[in-house]
A and B are shown apart, each in its own frame.
Chain A
Amino acid sequence: NAGVTQTPKFRILKIGQSMTLQCAQDMNHNYMYWYRQDPGMGLKLIYYSVGAGITDKGEVPNGYNVSRSTTEDFPLRLELAAPSQTSVYFCASSYSSIGTGRETQYFGPGTRLLVL
């Protein structure tokens, strides 16, 4: 299994440009998450999905959009990039059937984004 994969690894955007960060998992996980990590901080949740076709906002969703058309893929769309979106973005996935809250999240290697 490749686990959770993310592309690209690094990207520089100009202010106002748009881009899509790709995330895929091959573990048949139902839950998928997008986080951002700012320097010296923990991760903050942007969006999450409980299954194909179902997404919801996290703590910091402004300026982002997501979709989940398949179990495997969960792309994150940035519209009109702003310097405040300079960050490292992590995708994660987990599997839950009975919802104990103690499931393990598996993280991708991250995408480093610089908006200038």
Chain B
Amino acid sequence: AQSVTQLDSHVSVSEGTPVLLRCNYSSSYSPSLFWYVQHPNKGLQLLLKYTSAATLVKGINGFEAEFKKSETSFHLTKPSAHMSDAAEYFCVVNVARNTGFQKLVFGTGTRLLVSP
């Protein structure tokens, strides 16, 4: 069965330093992977998604993720954290195949804390 594992429940960084949020996936075929962000008391917003066109995926607000098949990872990075990046981040896999219906399986989330 396909799943994702977010390796850190909390990550703390200082403003201006790099961000690394880790996600490993398990899949027997090329997965559909996403990163969503949830700001406090808000809905979820798509940061980026893996489309198999490129292993390095660029998203909004300066975030990137690299799909590494050999490591079964899809880690989220940002070169320089901003205070507004403080939020909950979810790594997500779609376990439905070849259909418009998406059965999204969410990781347990990583809370990013950014200090001044």
Closest Cβ–Cβ distance, residue A108 to chain B (whole Å): 5
Interface residues on B, range: 20 to 34
Contact present for A31 and B43 (CB under 8 Å): no
List B contacts of A61 (CB < 8 A): none
Contact present for A103 and B100 (CB under 8 Å): yes
Residues of chain B having any CB pair with chain A under 8 Å = 32, 41-46, 49-51, 90, 92, 94, 96-109
- The secondary structure that dominates the A interface is loop
Q: A97 near B: Cβ within 8 Å?
A: yes
CB contact under 8 A between A104 and B46, given known A40-B108, A42-B107, A43-B106: yes
The 6 A-B pairs with the shortest beta carbon distances in the complex, nearest first, are A42-B106, A96-B100, A107-B43, A99-B100, A107-B44, A101-B32
Contact present for A45 and B103 (CB under 8 Å): yes
**Count of interface residues, chain A, beta-carbon cutoff 8 Å:** 31
Contact present for B100 and A50 (CB under 8 Å): yes
Closest Cβ–Cβ distance, residue B22 to chain A (whole Å): 16
Bound CA span A48–B100, Å: 12
Residues of chain A having any CB pair with chain B under 8 Å = 4, 30-31, 33, 40-45, 48, 50, 58, 90, 92, 94, 96-110
Contact present for A40 and B109 (CB under 8 Å): yes
Contact present for A43 and B104 (CB under 8 Å): yes
Contact present for A41 and B108 (CB under 8 Å): yes
List B contacts of A98 (CB < 8 A): 100
* Listed residue (A31, A43, A96) with the most chain B CB atoms within 10 angstroms of its CB: A43
Closest Cβ–Cβ distance, residue A63 to chain B (whole Å): 20
Bound CA span A57–B98, Å: 19
List A contacts of B42 (CB < 8 A): 109-110
Contact present for B46 and A105 (CB under 8 Å): yes
CB contact under 8 A between A99 and B107, given known A104-B49, A105-B46: no
